[in-house]
Amino acid sequence: MARPRKEAGLSLDARVAFRLTYQDYAIYKSKVAQSGLSASEFFRVAVLENRSEIVVIAPEVRELVYHFNRAGNALNCLTKQLDSDLQGGHLDPRTLDRLLASLIAIADYLKELMP
């Protein structure tokens, strides 16, 4: 669960605290670490969504998500460049070739990531 955006008028103002035995605290910290969430996010998900089990995201999956996000950012940049060139009337065959080469490079990059 992501932190609510302040622009939406939602802020995390109320503080919640609880005590655990050292043994329970070790289990809690282990589950938080396995979840990949912060302690606050973990607690909010567990309590507000009434989930007793947090889904663990494997490191390999996190890495794939990171690379796909990078590819998405690159695609966004290419889209902005194409739109800018179209709006400015500067779209020429050289620009199209460059954009196509970039798209092919992104596709190859993503293909390399797949097992």
* Rounded mean pLDDT, 37-51: 83
Q: Looking only at Cα atoms, what is the longest distance across the chain?
A: 69
* Rounded mean pLDDT, 10-19: 82
- Tell me the CA distances in angstroms from 39 to 46, 52, 110, one per residue in order: 11, 15, 32
Quote the distance between the C-alpha of residue 16 and its chain's center.
Answer: 26
Question: According to the model, what pLDDT value does residue 1 have?
Answer: 46
The whole-chain average pLDDT of the chain stands at: 83
User: The tokens of 47 are what?
Assistant: 């309590």
Residue 40 pLDDT > 50, yes or no? yes
Residue 54 pLDDT > 80, yes or no? no
109 within 8 A of 81, measured Cβ to Cβ:
no
For residue 30, how many C-alpha atoms fall within 13 Å in the half-sphere facing its CB? 6
* Rounded mean pLDDT, 58-62: 84
Question: According to the model, what pLDDT value does residue 26 have?
Answer: 92
